């Protein structure tokens, strides 16, 4: 069901094969043979389930195929663990009441040298008969670990074979292009780069695009786009949505002057020709509209305190003319080349050999990597030098470390709210009020922490997305992978491990004060985490239910984009703005962030299956 849904919803990619025609036709047929979904309520399930992996690969691409393969592997692992949890672990767990279980180890480290030996002696001799069932947790811990390692290795080998076969069948320009970075100064020329690559005798070079420092030109073009949008908005406000009105003083055959053709020498100005009034227009032509022209406040003087009312259309037309002249002058200017180039080879095999070869023995020079698609390149980051990118990368890493400390300060009160004893130690009056109102106590101890952590997990990825975009990566795909890794670190470390440490049930303040003592023994650490996990099962259950049944459906239906669509549509005045609002491609970040947060949830689903702290205690021993 999952692979079918992604195959239908994922955008198709152009995947033309470069060998025989019949292979290319076969792939195109697979991409276009996706079934039509029936209109019945449950009729869409079977057609989606019957979609094969080859159809997913041909229609959605390699990335979607690998992503869905990971979820299929996760489903296999969860089904196997669920079977053993229900068939073996839970029955054995239910037959041993809490009173018969092994007591926790002594917290007083009076003899650190004898503690491991004493623990082993107690388990093996004194409680040998009563604690035989504990070996089950140790066995299943290693069994599940070996199972997931086997699945990961086997799935990785299969994906490598599929990837090699898929890449060998591509002939698009992107697949034949390599990204060459670290180009020395003496090779920063397209002709020299082409000669250098062809001298390696790995293939013929079709084209070389050497990136240059177009930062100033990009800034002017971006400014021109802003002025153009404002001019379009001013004309839209002036013309409105009315039909063209004919003047009653003219004959019906009188028509406006037809627009000039594109081959009259002014083809480069065709975008602004419909907005800027032509100087050589017929002087007898009268605009068939009788509406007041829009105005604007033009501030000037010291601190911009003075202003005057000017015609908005004339003002933006003049600004557009000036910025066009500046851009034309900049295009004639020679820009400094950067140590980055995109080299297109004559075949995919030549590009792959160039990527796998060592082009220069010097470190960090002439490094060949796969090239992203032109639409996937972050061109503003191609102007950055290697030192600037390294500085940005390390700065963002330091910022992530500082944020991890900040998230800890947010998790402390949330973890303390899970236990009434922790509230009693910090706010005695609040704890007494909660004791008098059981419903309010249940709300504070169960619902509020779950809601607070859910809001944090929803908000944090947007911050990490901004940090990843500031890191200076060349490809947008690398930016998305960076967001995934940063968010996974947050969910696994801050939410899973740190929150588990802080959320112990025997008193948050007492546990935090004694945690330094527990660091001296791996057994104590394992038992503390296991006890905390056992006591936080209620919270994790609420969190998983809220995520699975409350938030994930809203993310899949793009509730944020749908709710903001009417607001943005009302604010869009120009046809270009309305067309931009109809495109939801720029609003797929919630779905991508939904995917990044779904992976750590697999770790939480196994917690109820091991509702015994000795499962983690024995594994730590």
Task: Give the confidence band of 110 by pLDDT, cuts at 50, 70, 90.
Answer: very low
Which is more confidently placed, 97 or 355?
Answer: 355
Q: What is the pLDDT of residue 364?
A: 83
CB 475 within 8 A of CB 408: no
Q: 177-214+335-371 belongs to which CATH class?
A: alpha beta
- The phi and psi torsions of 146 (rounded to 5 degrees) equal -65, -35
Q: Output the CA angle 343-345-351, nearest 5 degrees.
A: 90
Task: Give the confidence band of 208 by pLDDT, cuts at 50, 70, 90.
Answer: very high
Q: What is the pLDDT of residue 601?
A: 47
**Structure tokens given for 213:** 């420092």
pLDDT tens by residue, 157-187:
999 988 888 877 777 888 889 999 889 988 8
N- to C-terminal Cα distance for the chain?
A: 41
**Structure tokens given for 264:** 């009259």
Task: Give the confidence band of 521 by pLDDT, cuts at 50, 70, 90.
Answer: low
pLDDT tens by residue, 294-330:
888 888 888 888 888 989 899 999 999 999 999 999 9
Give the list of residues 6+ apart from residue 107 with CB closer than 8 angstroms, or none.
Answer: 514, 517, 518, 524
**Structure tokens given for 474:** 């060349």
- Stretch among 242-251, 257-266, 349-358, 547-556 having the lowest mean pLDDT: 257-266
Distance of CA 32 to the CA centre of its chain: 28
Q: What is the pLDDT of residue 482?
A: 86
Which is more confidently placed, 373 or 276?
Answer: 373
Name the E strands within 170-228.
177-181, 205-212
Task: Tell how strand 337-345 and strand 205-212 pair up.
Answer: antiparallel
Distance of CA 500 to the CA centre of its chain: 26
pLDDT tens by residue, 93-108:
888 765 555 454 454 4
CB 526 within 8 A of CB 619: yes
If residue 413 lies in a helix (H) or strand (E), which one and from where to where?
helix 386-416
Boundaries of every domain in the chain: 2-96+159-168, 177-214+335-371, 216-243+269-331, 385-620
Does the pTM of the predicted model rise above 0.75? no
Q: What is the pLDDT of residue 323?
A: 93
Task: Give the confidence band of 512 by pLDDT, cuts at 50, 70, 90.
Answer: low
**CA 224 to each of CA 219, 275, 441: distance values in angstroms, whole numbers, following the listed order:** 9, 13, 59
pLDDT tens by residue, 216-235:
998 999 999 999 988 988 88
């Amino acid at each position: 069901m999952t692979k079918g849904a992604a195959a239908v919803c994922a955008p198709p990619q152009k995947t033309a094969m470069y060998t025989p025609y019949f292979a290319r036709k076969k792939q195109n047929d697979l991409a276009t043979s996706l079934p039509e979904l029936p209109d019945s309520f449950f009729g869409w399930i079977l057609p989606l389930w019957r979609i094969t992996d080859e159809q997913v690969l041909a229609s959605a691409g390699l990335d979607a195929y690998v992503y869905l393969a990971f979820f299929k592997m996760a489903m296999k692992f969860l089904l196997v663990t669920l079977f053993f949890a229900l068939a073996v672990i839970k029955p054995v767990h239910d037959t041993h009441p809490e009173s018969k279980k092994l007591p926790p180890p002594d917290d007083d480290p009076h003899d650190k040298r004898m503690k491991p030996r004493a623990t082993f002696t107690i388990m093996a001799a004194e409680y040998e008969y009563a604690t035989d069932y504990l070996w089950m947790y140790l066995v299943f811990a290693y069994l599940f670990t070996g199972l997931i390692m086997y699945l990961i290795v086997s799935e990785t080998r299969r994906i490598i074979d599929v990837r090699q076969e898929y890449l060998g069948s591509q002939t698009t320009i992107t697949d034949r292009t390599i990204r060459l970075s670290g180009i020395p100064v003496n090779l920063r020329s397209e002709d020299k780069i082409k000669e250098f690559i062809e001298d390696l005798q790995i293939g013929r070079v079709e084209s070389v695009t050497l990136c240059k420092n177009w930062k100033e030109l990009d800034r002017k073009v971006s400014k021109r786009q802003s002025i153009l949008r404002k001019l379009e908005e001013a004309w839209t406000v002036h013309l409105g949505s009315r039909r063209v009105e004919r003047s009653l003083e003219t004959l019906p055959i009188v028509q406006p002057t037809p627009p000039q053709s594109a081959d009259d020498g002014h083809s480069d100005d065709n975008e602004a020709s419909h907005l800027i009034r032509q100087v050589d227009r017929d002087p007898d032509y009268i605009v068939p509209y009788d509406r007041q022209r829009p105005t604007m406040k033009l501030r000037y003087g010291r601190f911009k305190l003075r202003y005057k009312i000017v015609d908005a259309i004339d003002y933006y037309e003049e600004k557009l003319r000036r910025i066009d002249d500046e851009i034309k002058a900049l295009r004639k200017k020679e820009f400094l080349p950067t140590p980055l180039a995109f080299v297109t080879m004559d075949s995919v095999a030549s590009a792959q050999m160039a990527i796998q070869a060592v082009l220069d023995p010097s470190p960090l020079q002439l490094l060949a990597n796969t090239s992203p698609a032109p639409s996937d390149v972050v061109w503003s980051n191609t102007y950055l030098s290697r030192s600037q990118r390294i500085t940005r990368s390390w700065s963002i890493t330091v910022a992530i470390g500082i944020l991890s400390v900040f998230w800890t300060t947010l998790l402390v009160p949330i973890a303390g709210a899970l236990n009434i004893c922790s509230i009693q130690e910090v706010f005695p009056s609040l704890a007494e009020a909660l004791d008098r109102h059981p419903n309010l106590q249940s709300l504070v101890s169960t619902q509020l922490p779950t809601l607070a952590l859910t809001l944090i997990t929803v908000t944090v990825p947007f911050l990490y997305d901004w940090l990843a975009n500031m890191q200076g990566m060349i490809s947008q795909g690398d930016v998305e992978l960076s967001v995934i890794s940063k968010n996974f670190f947050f969910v696994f470390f801050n939410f899973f491990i740190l929150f588990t440490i802080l959320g112990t049930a025997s008193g948050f303040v007492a546990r935090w004060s004694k945690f330094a003592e527990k660091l001296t023994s791996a057994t104590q650490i394992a038992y503390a985490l296991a006890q905390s996990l056992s006591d936080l099962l209620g919270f994790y259950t609420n969190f998983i239910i809220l995520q699975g049944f409350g938030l994930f459906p809203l993310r899949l239906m793009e509730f944020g984009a749908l709710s903001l669509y009417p607001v943005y549509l009302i604010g869009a005045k120009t046809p270009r703005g309305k067309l931009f609002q109809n495109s939801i491609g720029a609003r797929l970040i919630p779905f991508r962030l939904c995917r990044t947060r779904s992976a750590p949830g697999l770790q939480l689903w196994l917690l109820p299956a091991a509702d015994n702290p000795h499962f983690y205690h024995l594994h730590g021993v």
